[in-house]
């Protein structure tokens, strides 16, 4: 009998001891095949656990609860999974739609919004229970629902998103979650395909797949409507076939400059934020996919679409030129900076590894094995807007 | 025998269970009399525990480990205490100097630097063990050591600080902790009394107690040296007696604007960051002490020195004017925004309470009892530079 107690006791205390850790330095690596996530620590630079049963994780993205204990994973198959980073397990999981493209968490941390392709719209869930709180179909004409893209959270319990098929941007105000308020902006440009929010939560900018320029909404002055910036961008250029849609989710801002991937071109565009003028086109090795600023804004890191996706280039923001060229491996899909920018984690899908670089010396610090890794997401995202 | 096991087991599991929480939404409230700290949760808006034995906590400040599990408290009496937020207790504590004014944590989280008045200098400790790693006396002439103020961490394992008595700014590079490198800038202006770093870690600005203007160092171009900005600030003004030194630690930046408290004046100065020109002086009710931007930069909150320290004013950054006046209680000493800005916590020392406000409606949400509360510090600071 006493051995039973002892066994239970030891087992229990083992589990409990394993959980005694801060959550500020944790993160997730998405593995595509077979679909799984690794929980990692950026302090020990090790993998802490491995979780399966999460459905299709191609193009999956992640947001975090305000205490940085729970991760919410948005799967491409419409799955929404809540992971407990301390218990190393799935806390809750639902299939909320047929085809989903990402999500966001509300300013107060209580609501999770998911943007869906099929059926087109946004669904809002309790972050506590994953119960449905609001269902916002993206209906723009009788029986017509649009794919929803570029969903971000914004200050004041708002979510902002774009309707690919309807050429619209909507502001969803959930201060009273049972009474959602929607403000719609139409004719914002053809086929918005993704969007970003400035780190301060003020400017929402949508990329336009079938139109020139970008659509800009100033959330401090929504009454002024959506205006087109960079109207000449995309006009004269002969477009290359687009191998992969660039991502606009990571707003790369450094001081007064903003960096975005040019769609269909081998260029990063540099925009001056007070005038919204294009001040430079920086040539890169391929079609840029992620264009991300180191947290201090001194460097901008760029990966590229197939067939140039073995490259990583680093722009020095001081003189707006490429200063470093790295080749981390085959199919570099994503990167994530540690919160204060000393390191960057890079996934090389077809080499089945994640690499950690020192961002000052560009030295490789460590490699971690991962099966077809794609997105990397650190828990410090819990405290940021517009992701 | 089996009851002993059972008892130990239950006791152990109780302790362990109590600790199972994320650390992203935790924080500390400093209580001055009797000296203590409260560990709080910004999610539940409750006090979790109360820790004493920390020495003199007047003017205490706090930084966090990169996992947001440990808080490092810098006491005015030279005490340096490491608190375990999960075990609710002091992990380690040393007396490192006679009179201290604050500290910072290195970019990689491994080093804690403390700025001392007496003996004047900076000491650097291991964040793991609190063992001394480097001792940097602020010697500027034979047998003369300066008080050190305005210590901040900066990218690249650096600490930047100012020498009040020597009119100098030093950059301390600790990439090799055993071989500290120091770069000194002299004649930067008379009596630097505090300093701040821009949120991106690029600009270090020191306030000058006995000189006009502010001293600016661009860390991207240190070879250009320290230059004076706002040279007319303080020149013509008849100075009022200064009841309390304003704090520059909280850089209030909103887009391209920077807000700082005018020393000895009832004004907040607004500086345009690309030109470093003063673009507005905003009148406030008293001598401003803390001038802090809500994380989205839309509002700037200002408290005042005695005898106007019952007031809190809110500047709307959209039109640069005071939009709201609150009176939270007697002796409003400090405020801290939740990471995504929906709430602000305010300490009212002489009313023995901390108040939580909704920053959009300005409604008071809750009051927590606290004994002579001063500083409030949330664990999301773990991920920020320049604090």
Cα four-point dihedral sign A76, A82, A86, A89: negative
The answer, for B67 touching chain A at a CB cutoff of 8 Å, is yes
- Provide the chain B residues 235-254 that lie in CB contact (below 8 A) with chain A: 254
**Residue B365 β-bridge partners:** none
Can you give the pLDDT of all 387 residues of chain B as single tens digits? 455 555 555 445 444 445 689 999 999 999 999 999 999 999 999 999 999 999 999 889 999 999 999 999 999 999 999 999 999 999 999 999 888 889 999 999 999 999 999 899 999 999 999 999 999 999 999 999 999 999 999 999 999 999 999 999 999 999 999 999 999 999 999 999 999 998 889 999 999 999 999 999 999 999 999 999 999 887 655 555 666 666 776 556 767 889 999 988 999 999 998 899 999 999 999 999 999 999 999 999 999 999 999 999 999 999 999 999 999 999 999 999 999 999 999 999 999 999 999 999 999 999 999 999 999 999 999 999 988
Which letter does DSSP use for residue B32 in this model? T
Distance from CA of A329 to the nearest CA of B (A): 26
| Whole-number Å distance between alpha carbons of A38 and A28 | 6
Distance from CA of B256 to the nearest CA of A (A): 7
Strands (E), B132-287: 132-137, 139-141, 144-145, 148-154, 158-163, 168-173, 181-185, 192-197, 203-208, 214-218, 226-229, 252-254, 257-261, 267-272, 277-283
- Which DSSP helix (H) or strand (E) runs through B10? helix B2-18
Contact A54, A90 (CB under 8 A): yes
Q: Is the pLDDT assigned to residue A159 strictly greater than 80?
A: yes
The answer, for A88 touching chain B at a CB cutoff of 8 Å, is no
Domain boundaries, chain A: 42-231, 248-377
Asked if the interface predicted TM-score (ipTM) of this complex is over 0.95, the answer is: no
Contact B316, B308 (CB under 8 A): no
The answer, for A384 touching chain B at a CB cutoff of 8 Å, is yes
Average pLDDT, chain A: 91
Distance of CA B37 to the CA centre of its chain: 16
Tell me whether domains B42-231 and B248-377 share a fold: no
Fold adopted by B248-377: Methylamine Dehydrogenase; Chain H (2.130.10)
Residues in chain A: 387
The residue assigned the tokens 């001055």 is: B32
Report the pLDDT value the prediction gives residue A135, as an integer from 0 to 100.
97
Percent of chain A with pLDDT over 70: 91
Residue A351 CB contacts under 8 Å (≥ 6 apart), including other chains: A329, A330, A331
CB contact under 8 A, A382 and B342: no
Residue among A22, A202, A382 whose CB faces B67 most closely: A22
The answer, for B55 touching chain A at a CB cutoff of 8 Å, is no
Residue among A42, A65, A201 whose CB faces B22 most closely: A65
Residue among B25, B256, B297 whose CB faces A66 most closely: B25
Contact B104, B151 (CB under 8 A): yes
Distance from CA of A178 to the nearest CA of B (A): 19
Q: Looking at the structure, give the CATH architecture of the domain made up of residues B42-231.
A: 8 Propeller (2.140)
Q: Is the pLDDT assigned to residue A97 strictly greater than 50?
A: yes
Task: Identify the closest residue of chain A to B44 by CA–CA distance.
Answer: A67
The answer, for A298 touching chain B at a CB cutoff of 8 Å, is yes
**For an interface test with A, which of B13, B67, B152, B274 has the most A Cβ atoms less than 10 Å from its Cβ?**
B67
- Provide the chain B residues 124-183 that lie in CB contact (below 8 A) with chain A: 155-157
Distance from CA of A140 to the nearest CA of B (A): 31
Nearest one of A94, A215, A99 to A160, comparing CA atoms: A215
- Helices of type H across chain A: 2-19
Distance from CA of B385 to the nearest CA of A (A): 6
CB contact under 8 A, B24 and A339: no
Q: Which two tokens stand for residue A40?
A: 């990692």
Task: Identify the closest residue of chain B to A6 by CA–CA distance.
Answer: B5
Exposure of B213 in the CB half-sphere (CA atoms within 13 A)? 13
- Spell out which residues of chain A touch residue B17, defining contact as CB-CB under 8 Å: 16
Distance from CA of B242 to the nearest CA of A (A): 33
Report the pLDDT value the prediction gives residue A13, as an integer from 0 to 100.
47
Residue A161 CB contacts under 8 Å (≥ 6 apart), including other chains: A115, A122, A148, A149, A150, A151, A152, A169, A170, A172, A195
CB contact under 8 A, A383 and B66: no
Report the pLDDT value the prediction gives residue B17, as an integer from 0 to 100.
47
Its pTM stands at: 0.94
- Spell out which residues of chain B touch residue A378, defining contact as CB-CB under 8 Å: none
- Provide the chain A residues 173-202 that lie in CB contact (below 8 A) with chain B: 200-202
The answer, for A86 touching chain B at a CB cutoff of 8 Å, is yes
What value does the mean pLDDT take over residues A236-240?
57
Report the pLDDT value the prediction gives residue B112, as an integer from 0 to 100.
98
Report the pLDDT value the prediction gives residue A248, as an integer from 0 to 100.
72
- Spell out which residues of chain A touch residue B24, defining contact as CB-CB under 8 Å: 23-24, 64-69, 379, 382-383
Report the pLDDT value the prediction gives residue B236, as an integer from 0 to 100.
57
Q: Is the pLDDT assigned to residue A16 strictly greater than 60?
A: no
- Which DSSP helix (H) or strand (E) runs through B323? strand B321-326
CB contact under 8 A, A68 and B69: no
The answer, for A21 touching chain B at a CB cutoff of 8 Å, is yes
Task: Identify the closest residue of chain A to B296 by CA–CA distance.
Answer: A200
Report the pLDDT value the prediction gives residue B14, as an integer from 0 to 100.
45
Q: Is the pLDDT assigned to residue A200 strictly greater than 50?
A: yes
């Amino acid at each position: 009998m006493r051995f039973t107690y002892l066994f239970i006791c030891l087992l229990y205390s083992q589990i409990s001891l394993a959980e005694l850790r801060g959550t500020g330095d944790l993160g997730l690596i998405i593995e595509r095949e077979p679909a799984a996530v690794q929980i990692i620590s950026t302090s020990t630079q090790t993998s802490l656990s491995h979780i399966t049963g999460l459905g299709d994780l191609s193009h999956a993205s992640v947001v975090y609860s305000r205490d940085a204990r729970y991760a919410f994973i948005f799967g491409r198959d419409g799955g929404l999974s809540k992971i407990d980073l301390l218990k190393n397990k799935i806390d809750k999981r639902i299939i909320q739609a047929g085809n989903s493209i990402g999500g966001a968490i509300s300013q107060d941390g209580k609501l999770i919004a998911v943007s869906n392709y099929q059926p087109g719209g946004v669904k809002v869930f309790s972050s506590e229970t994953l119960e449905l709180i609001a269902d916002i179909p993206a209906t723009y004409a009788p029986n017509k629902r649009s794919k929803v893209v570029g969903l971000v959270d914004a200050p004041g319990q708002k979510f902002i998103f774009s309707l690919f098929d309807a050429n619209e941007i909507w502001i969803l105000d959930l201060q009273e979650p049972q009474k959602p308020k929607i403000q719609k902006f139409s004719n914002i440009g053809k086929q918005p395909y993704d969007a970003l929010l400035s780190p301060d939560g003020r400017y929402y900018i949508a990329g336009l797949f079938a139109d020139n320029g970008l659509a800009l909404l100033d959330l401090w002055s929504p009454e002024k409507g959506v205006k087109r910036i960079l109207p000449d961008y995309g006009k004269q250029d002969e477009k290359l076939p687009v191998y992969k849609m660039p991502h606009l989710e990571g707003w790369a801002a450094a001081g007064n400059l903003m960096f975005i991937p040019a769609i269909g071109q081998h260029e990063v565009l540099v925009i001056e934020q007070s005038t919204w003028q294009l001040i430079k086109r920086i040539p890169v090795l391929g079609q840029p996919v992620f264009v991300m600023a180191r947290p201090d804004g001194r460097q901008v890191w760029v990966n590229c679409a197939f067939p140039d996706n073995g490259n990583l280039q680093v722009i020095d923001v001081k003189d707006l030129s490429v200063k470093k060229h790295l080749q981390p491996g085959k199919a570099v899909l994503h990167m994530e900076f540690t919160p204060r920018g000393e390191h960057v984690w890079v996934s090389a899908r077809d080499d089945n590894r994640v690499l950690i670089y020192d961002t000052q010396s560009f030295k490789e610090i460590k490699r971690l094995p991962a099966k077809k890794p794609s997105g990397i997401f650190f828990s410090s995202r819990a405290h940021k807007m517009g992701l």
